[in-house]
């Protein structure tokens, strides 16, 4: 299957995740913290910057679940730092203090830890965060999950929650115009997908990851076999060359019978390993004994 990108598949699945009121507050907080702002003035409203119609529909569904229908959407071209088309969604609220408290933030927009103690609430926040600002690379190429934000505080909070609550370890880097939090471990990324509710995407990710491992194991085995064959072939060629040289120069009959026997077996069976040659003898000899006896001929040939 040729995949252009994996992120849109994950988001599309999340757009259809069941909406429940008690999780909608946290999911909305995830959207706002990564791609939104709270504008307080003559008119108080929440502004969200969303990239596609699916994200807008999802935002409207979770807003409706918590009893907010007063929204407007503007579609415009963005320039400068974020080129492309963007939906600007304005959410009207008349009791901003109550609204901010309900979605787990304080009056200056900081995330309240007391609100995010339940892992299910944290996962809802992460779902909103991924919809607005998450990215997962095509797993058939490499493993990479990341979140981008212009504010480092939310990424530090996300990093701490993932590590302390779910054992997922990530890193934060300073990039142009902001910061990135990323995870490179495939198993952790797969667990993250399950955590945010992208169950089908997690199955696809896991399947691709398993397929890559099988292909990698096969390639590694074939490389090992090829290298081993080359080593064996080179050793066999060296042994046969030495035996023929000694046979022409002084004759194999001048060696003890046990060495003569092994030398003739090697000449007649160049494709066999030392272990296989040893097994042809009666009684069978170990690989190391066969090697030592052939080494006597090789050393003599090298000294001639």
Instruction: Tell me the backbone φ, ψ of residue 175, rounded to 5 degrees.
Output: -125, 175
The list of the chain residues with pLDDT below 50 reads 1-4, 80-81, 214-215, 218, 221-222, 224-225, 229-230
Q: Determine the Cα–Cα distance for residues 186 and 145; give it in Å rounded to an integer.
A: 9
Apex 69 CA angle, 49 and 52, nearest 5: 30
What is the phi-psi region of residue 50: left when phi exceeds 0, alpha when psi lies from -120 to 50, beta otherwise?
A: beta
Q: What is the pLDDT of residue 75?
A: 62
Alpha helices, H only, the chain = 7-15, 21-35, 53-65, 96-102, 119-133, 152-166, 186-196, 199-249, 257-268, 274-279, 287-303
Q: What is the pLDDT of residue 88?
A: 87
- Judge contact between 191 and 168, C-beta under 8 A: yes
Instruction: Report the predicted TM-score, pTM, of the whole model to 2 decimal places.
Output: 0.66
Please tell me whether residue 136 adopts helix, strand or coil conformation.
Answer: strand
Q: Determine the Cα–Cα distance for residues 153 and 172; give it in Å rounded to an integer.
A: 11
Q: What is the pLDDT of residue 11?
A: 94
- Judge contact between 75 and 85, C-beta under 8 A: yes
Q: What is the pLDDT of residue 128?
A: 96
Q: What is the pLDDT of residue 233?
A: 53
Residue 283: CB partners within 8 Å, gap ≥ 6? none
Alpha helices, H only, 77-182 = 96-102, 119-133, 152-166
Q: What is the pLDDT of residue 257?
A: 81
Q: What is the pLDDT of residue 229?
A: 45
Sign (positive or negative) of CA dihedral 272, 275, 276, 280 = positive
Q: What is the pLDDT of residue 2?
A: 40
Strands ordered across the beta sheet of 71-78: 36-39, 45-50, 84-92, 71-78
Please tell me whether residue 67 adopts helix, strand or coil conformation.
Answer: coil
Q: Does 3.10.28.10 match the CATH number of domain 7-212?
A: yes
Q: In which residue ranges of the chain is CATH 3.10.28.10 found?
A: 7-212
Burial class (CB in 10 A: 0-12, 13-18, 19+), 235: middle
Q: What is the pLDDT of residue 224?
A: 47
């Amino acid at each position: 299957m040729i995949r252009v990108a994996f992120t849109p598949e994950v988001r599309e699945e999340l757009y259809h995740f069941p909406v429940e009121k008690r999780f909608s507050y946290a999911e909305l907080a995830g959207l706002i913290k990564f791609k939104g702002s709270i504008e307080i003035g003559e008119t108080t409203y929440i502004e969200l910057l969303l990239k596609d119609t699916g994200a807008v529909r999802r935002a409207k569904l979770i807003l409706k679940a918590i009893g907010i229908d007063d929204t407007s959407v503007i579609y415009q071209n963005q320039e400068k730092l974020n080129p492309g088309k963007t939906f600007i969604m304005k959410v009207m609220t008349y009791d901003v203090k109550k609204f901010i408290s309900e979605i787990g933030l304080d009056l200056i927009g900081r995330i309240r830890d007391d609100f995010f103690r339940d892992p299910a609430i944290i996962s809802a926040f992460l779902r909103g965060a991924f919809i607005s600002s998450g990215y997962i690379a095509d797993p058939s190429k490499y493993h990479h999950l990341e979140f981008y934000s212009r504010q480092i505080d939310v990424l530090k909070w996300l990093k701490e929650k993932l590590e302390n609550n779910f054992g997922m370890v990530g890193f934060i880097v300073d990039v142009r115009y902001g910061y990135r939090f990323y995870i490179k471990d495939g198993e952790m990324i797969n667990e993250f997908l399950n955590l945010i509710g992208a169950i089908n995407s997690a199955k696809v990710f896991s399947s691709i990851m398993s397929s890559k491992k099988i292909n990698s194991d096969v390639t590694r085995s074939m490389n090992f076999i090829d290298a081993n064959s080359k080593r064996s072939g080179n050793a066999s060629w060296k042994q046969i060359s030495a035996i023929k040289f000694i046979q022409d120069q002084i004759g194999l009959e001048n060696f003890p019978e046990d060495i003569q026997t092994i030398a003739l077996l090697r000449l007649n069976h160049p494709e066999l390993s030392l272990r296989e040659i040893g097994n042809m003898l009666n009684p069978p000899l170990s690989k190391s004994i066969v090697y030592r006896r052939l080494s006597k001929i090789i050393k003599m040939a090298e000294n001639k």
